[in-house]
Structure formats: structure tokens, C-alpha cells
Structure 1
């Protein structure tokens, strides 16, 4: 396991991320989901952000409300006054990311920038609340994360996007590839399109660069164990009890 001189990663053991607060039962990215994760002992939470038509930063994964709520429509096209009436799984309200930061002051957040419109509001929120040590910003778009880092400055913790991960993967095979400096971690799927992303070579290449490796989204105990044996630094899961049990059995649940 490698350590980065950034307070976001200051944790004495494997990082256990509650993916969307623990999405297994369908109330993902709600305050109630994160409350349960906190009660289960989780300190690291993963979420996503979009902005409403009037600029409110909402913790939500999808572009539209359709899949997981009792409402319909694109979040970016609706005001917060309408979005706030939607209920996840028919019962839990959506949350503003600022509300989550306030309710869980001890939590650290991995935030996926799902839309370009969320970039400036997120960076401004982190700056206004002085949450530099509590938030790591990521996105599939490497360029989007780079823009966030340029806007925020070196205090912002970021992870690699797809291009950065590809560069790291090529570098693990000795193939020269440019990667963005300043990231603190690579957050990756175990496999992508049937191709293995995370193996011992990849983990070692990341660690040589001083990067942690966080793997998403892993819900099977055997897969969790294999990844830990490879030396990954963090795992994101929908199944909170499964990951906690695996880490407890290994003596690394903190």
C-alpha cells in the first residue's frame, strides 16, 4: 500500500468506500443511505453530482430522475423546487451535496463530476466550506478533472479519468505515455469490456508514481479478497456488510 501526502488519504488501513452510500437496496445517493453507511462504520463515501436548472448541486448519479425516483425529467432542465419533490425508491428525497457535507462532517467524499455544469459549483463549494481535505474529485473525463484542478489549485485531491488510467496501464507495460501530474489516485474497474485493468503490474506501476489504486464497484467477497492480495488501496462497494466482513477478517477494518 502506498501513501500520498494529501490529507484526504490519511487513513491507517484499506479505504472502504460506501458506493452511493451503499446502493444495494435501491436508496442510493440519499441522506438515509449515507446515514446507514456511517452507522456501519464507513468513513469514505462515494457520490455523484449534477446541477439543476437553477444551479443547485445535487448528489445523484443519473442524468434523469427516471430510473430510481418516482419523477421524470432531466435534472439539468428542472429547478431544485421540482427536483426536491422526487423520491428515490418512492420514499427518500434527493440531497444537495452541501447538505451532505454539513450532516457528515467526519466523512470523506469521492465525488464523480457527472456534468460540466457541476464543475464550478463543486469547486466553489469546496472552497467556501474549506473541504479540501474531505473531497476527492473524479470523472471519466480527464479533461474535466484537469479543469477542476486548474480552477481549484493544488489543494484539490483528484483521481485519474479514462485517459489517465490508460496512460498508467500503458506505462505498466513499459510503453511511454503521458499522464497528468497532481492526481492522488487511480480509480478503476477491475475489468473493462472483458479486459483486465487491475493486476499486480498495474498496482505496482501506480504505486511507483505515488498513486493509490481504488477499485469500483466490487460486491463479491472473493473478488474483494483477490484485489486486496494484489495490494489495492481501496475498494468501493454497494454491499457494505460484505466489504466490512472481508476487511474485519483480515484485521484491516478501522
Structure 2
């Protein structure tokens, strides 16, 4: 299991976006040097179907260049120098960091096949968790990556929220039955004004054998409260400060 229940970890969101340029070679290298094994990142597809690491659909914020990721072939994108860090291919990141566990959010439908291909070609199925809001996208990724870990999409998470608010055991078990074969629910504190992450949500997910990770948590006190609730992972932009702060509080959190 990449993400066991009851063994809380710190996950570097976008490679530790509050400490390094997000989703870059520098970020992943720095996190590795600091002892962080768990890395969260994002994948998009180029025009010619190469999976690359980029959160946004466009390049202006992170790369400082014009246009959409999918508007470039990989050869063209590799030459783009807009004043920001170069874009990294998924397979490059996996091969450069063979000891890291990558949590990769597939940001669009067109990246599903290229992402699965990159993971297979790197032989990284055992150390990658694929993620997405979209249940359909996740079904496709699970089909192309048998045995690889995955997170839950919005629909499945909504069922756990409903189960956590149900007072009868039979109704709760009915809602939890038949959830997708996933290892983890990665959720915000709330979504569209509705509280998601509660102690009952964590208990319901655990009942279904699913770990719970909270995102994006940059306040150590908030993270400590979540760990007291039984949350299994803290996804954060400031992994170094988060890990050190939680350890100072005597909380048994791991970065590796």
C-alpha cells in the first residue's frame, strides 16, 4: 500500500510549491534532498500526446510564456524559454526519482492515455497514485494501469460524505458498498460551502478501507487538528515547515 491507514505522512503539493518553483526538476530534487518521498504533481498533454507536469492549462503563470500546453508539441515546448522554469515530462520525473512516490493529478481527458503510457514505460506502476476529480477519467486510468494506486473522484467522495451523515449502520454500509477500488480520498476541508472533512467522514472512509489526505493545508495547527481526527496525510505547499512543526508537537508524521 502506498498510503496506509493510520500512518500519517506529509505530501509535497506540486513538489512543494511554497518552497520551490512548482512541478519542476528543482522542486523534486530539493524535496528528495530534504528527505521527502511523497510528491504530488499535475499532468497535462502536449499537442503530440506527451504527458508533462503542469497544473494550469496555459503556460503564462509558471513558465512565463504564451499559449496552452496542448498548443505545443513536446519538441516545441522543450525549447520554450519564457523566463520561468522549463516544463518536465512525466517519464523524466519518474526516472530521475526512482525512490519517490508520485501522486499525479490528470488534469484533462486527453492526458489519460499519455500519462498511463509514461508510467508504464518508466515501470513506475507500483509507486504512482493517479488522481482526478473525474470518475470517468479515473476509470480509464485504472483500466490502463492495473494494480496501480488511485484516488477517489468527486462522485465517490460525495458518497462517503453522505455515509458520514447517515445515522443508521445499514444505510451507511449501503452507501460505502461498491466504491471504486482506490487507496485514498484526497479532499479539501470544504467544497462549495459544504464541509467535507469531518471526523465522521474520516471514520466512514476508514470503514471502507480508504485512507484520507487533506489538501491544501499550510497551517501547522490546522494540520495537527486533522491528524487528531485520524487524517492519514497532509498535502501542503510548505512540506519542510509542516513536517518540522508537526514533529515539534510530538505527532508521529512521516515524510518517507
Q: TM-score, normalised by structure 2?
A: 0.89
Q: Hey, what does 1:169 align to over in structure 2?
A: 161
Aligned partners of 1:140 and 1:225: how far apart in 2? 26
CA apart distance, 1:151: 2.7
Aligned partners of 1:17 and 1:78: how far apart in 2? 30
Aligned residue among 113, 121, 124 for 1:128: 121
Q: Hey, what does 2:245 align to over in structure 1?
A: 246
**How many equivalent residue pairs?**
246
Q: Hey, what does 1:114 align to over in structure 2?
A: 107
Q: Hey, what does 1:156 align to over in structure 2?
A: 148
Aligned partners of 2:6 and 2:141: how far apart in 1? 28
The answer to whether the 8 A contact 1:26-1:68 is kept is no
The answer to whether the 8 A contact 1:219-1:243 is kept is yes
CA apart distance, 1:180: 3.1
Aligned partners of 1:207 and 1:63: how far apart in 2? 34
Aligned residue among 43, 50, 61 for 1:56: 50
CA apart distance, 1:81: 2.3
Structure 2 residue ranges without an equivalent (≥5): none
Q: Hey, what does 2:3 align to over in structure 1?
A: 9
1:193-246 Cα shifts (integer Å, max 9, x gaps): 332211100000000000000111101111111111111000110012221113
Aligned partners of 1:87 and 1:241: how far apart in 2? 29
> Does 176-185 or 50-59 show the bigger shift?
176-185
Find the residue that maps to 2:152 and give its secondary structure: coil
Structure 1 residue ranges without an equivalent (≥5): 1-5
CA apart distance, 1:9: 2.6
Find the residue that maps to 1:93 and give its secondary structure: coil
